[in-house]
Structure 1
Amino acid sequence: MSTGVIIRAVELGLIFSVLSLGEYITVKVMDSPDLTVDGSFVTGGCTAAMLTLAGFPNLGLAAAFVAGLLCGCVTAFLQTKMKIQGLLAGILTMTALYSVNLRIMQGAPNVSLYAVPKPTILNNPATVLYVLIAIVALTALLMYAFFKTNLGLMLRAAGDNEEMIRSSSVNVDSMKFLGFALSNGLVALSGALLVQFQKFADVTGGTGMLVLGLAGIIIGEAVFRRPGGFDHRCDPVPPAVYSGPAAGVPGHGHEPGQRRARGSHDFHSASPETEKETRQPCLNSRTSA
């Protein structure tokens, strides 16, 4: 196998890692798998393709992210305001986006980007790998920083125990809008990067992207959460935000089905001594390292 083939495979993997980061928000953080992915991935690619042809390749990436945000908001609206089941809401949005994507590309099923007025950030083969590494690293760091904020903690808590966070006077519907929007925004950004990388866009290019993103999540968890690898006690989220034994999470002291809502008085139930003991193994490992 030649070095060029390996490098191209790594580049594609970096592009799809942005897709997996987006799906991680709905699948793991919000515990609500979203089927909008196959549609929003193409929406981002089509948006970026048309703006790239118009001579605005960098603006195309930003517009693709915004288009993904709107796709996620539509799914969240169907789920929260129209009271449609989550999976069905994703299917409805994904199906509707097929027509939207055709309209974005002015009725053409595919568009070529080999004759563009301005080069894209992925136009130079010598720098593509470094640009993609920078994009993925920046995206991961921004997600890490976001989930350490109060808003990020509320989003994670809403996905972990919806009744508990509602009793704490947090608008769960707003958290769903935020989660679905961010997830599909990253998915659309991945689609835009893929279009500029392969220099063409196709309305059927999103087929199978949901499975591909889930595969990336599974592989990532297998690598970083193996014994001796990732320690959940080093997680930036305080133990009080997780449901823990009081919520009946499997593997935390209660059997499945015994999950119950907690009042607002339980939200800060973890004492400083408990948090210190919980994080002590992490501190020890860092000191020894």
Structure 2
Amino acid sequence: MTVFAFLGALELGLIYGLVGIAVFLTFRVLDFPDLTVDGSLPLGSAVAATLIVSGGIGAMAPWVGLVAAFLAGACAGLITAFLAIRFNILNLLASILTMIAAYSINIRIMGRPNLPVLGEETIISQTAPAFAAMDVGQDFARVLLVLAVVAVAAWLIIRLLASDFGLAMRATGQNSRFVLANGGSSALCTYVGLAVSNGLVAMAGAIFTQLNGFADVNAGVGTIVVGLAAVILGETLVGSRKIWVLIVACIMGSILYRIAMAFALNTSSLGLQASDLNLVTAVIVALALVAPKMRKSGFKAPRPRLSLQKKVPAK
């Protein structure tokens, strides 16, 4: 595998690290199977691309596009939560309904199935002079920029889950009756959790669009599988219950997943082609699921669970 392919895999792994964190919030923290992410990622792409191409905001459009994408994805998550909580629709079905609706909404936003942003101002073009002054190559600059955005997002999520409200969110996924008995609102936790989760996925879509130069309505197909792969690989590697470790593990899992994909598809001896992408994905996820059971602890490695105990600072 060439250096260019490795950096490309690292860049994609970091972008989809946001998806891994989002899936961790819904599947592990809230215990809410959410397929909305397959519609949220292209939604963020569509919103960011439309703002950049329109030129109405000026030089701030690439950065405003990230914020607008997050808010659009949060709205999609809120709709899923509303259908599930207010109308008691099955979680999985509610997310599928939102995902299907997002497809048509994305086309409405862009006015077409795909929208190029080549030649427009992006976060890459605006930060390129600063990286050039530090004598950093363009490929490395792209990776460092994405790493900075992902690091800030991960830090904010860690702070959220370590707060009192985050403790209530973690309790909601394990025992919602416990939250209600202690005066909390499991519904509010679900609303916030799904909004933040889909906001992160939409922001990942906005970053992907600006780095690759286009937004496509079909870009979200298989997003949930990539997110699950990142979470499972990360949990397989760390086996810890600490929140910050699990969040970092999601990012590392996404990077390893992308590197494994790039290695498999760029190794001629394996005889794989680009059309085998789904096959390689299925094999990697299956291996990640089987790996914990193959550990030396008698095939009984437990899945890491979140600790509900909040550390009390020493006096």
TM-score (norm 2): 0.70
Aligned to 2:190: 176
Q: Distance in 2 between matches of 1:35 and 1:170?
A: 26
Can you list the C-alpha shifts for 1:243-275, whole angstroms capped at 9, x where unaligned? xxxxxxxxxxxxxxxxxxxxxxxxx9x8x9xx8
Cα drift, residue 145 of structure 1: 1.0
Q: Distance in 2 between matches of 1:196 and 1:136?
A: 15
Contact 1:109 1:202 in 2 (8 A): yes
Partner residue of 2:122 out of 110, 119, 124:
119
Contact 2:39 2:102 in 1 (8 A): yes
Aligned ranges for residues 47-126 of structure 1 at < 5 Å?
47-55=47-55, 56-106=61-111, 108-116=112-120, 118-121=121-124, 124=128, 125-126=138-139
Q: State the aligned residue count.
A: 234
Can you list the C-alpha shifts for 1:193-241, whole angstroms capped at 9, x where unaligned? 111111101111110001011001111111121xxxx3x3x558xxxxx
Structure 2 unaligned blocks of 5 or more: 56-60, 129-137, 245-307
Q: Distance in 2 between matches of 1:146 and 1:60?
A: 23
Cα drift, residue 90 of structure 1: 0.4
Q: Distance in 2 between matches of 1:215 and 1:114?
A: 31
Q: Distance in 2 between matches of 1:97 and 1:174?
A: 23
Moved over 6 A (4+): none
Relative to its length, the structure with more helix (as a share) is 2
Q: Aligned partner of 2:29: which letter?
A: V
In 2 relative to 1, CA 235–175 (structure 1 residues): closer, same or farther, beyond 3 Å? Answer: closer
Structure 1 unaligned blocks of 5 or more: 237-267, 277-289
In 2 relative to 1, CA 185–192 (structure 1 residues): closer, same or farther, beyond 3 Å? Answer: same
State which structure, 1 or 2, has the greater radius of gyration over its C-alpha atoms.
Answer: 1
Cα drift, residue 122 of structure 1: 6.2
In 2 relative to 1, CA 176–235 (structure 1 residues): closer, same or farther, beyond 3 Å? Answer: closer
Local SS of the residue matching 1:147: helix
Cα drift, residue 119 of structure 1: 3.4
Partner residue of 1:144 out of 158, 162, 168:
158
Local SS of the residue matching 2:123: coil
Cα drift, residue 115 of structure 1: 2.4
Q: Distance in 2 between matches of 1:34 and 1:196?
A: 26
Q: Distance in 2 between matches of 1:78 and 1:39?
A: 16
Contact 2:158 2:243 in 1 (8 A): no
TM-score (norm 1): 0.77
Local SS of the residue matching 2:162: coil
Aligned ranges for residues 1-289 of structure 1 at < 5 Å?
1-55=1-55, 56-106=61-111, 108-116=112-120, 118-121=121-124, 124=128, 125-126=138-139, 127-225=141-239, 230=240, 232=241
Q: Aligned partner of 2:219: which letter?
A: G
Local SS of the residue matching 2:215: strand
Q: Distance in 2 between matches of 1:161 and 1:121?
A: 44
Local SS of the residue matching 1:64: helix
Can you list the C-alpha shifts for 1:165-185, whole angstroms capped at 9, x where unaligned? 111111111111011101100
Identical positions, percent = 38
Q: Distance in 1 between matches of 2:2 and 2:86?
A: 53
Contact 2:161 2:243 in 1 (8 A): no
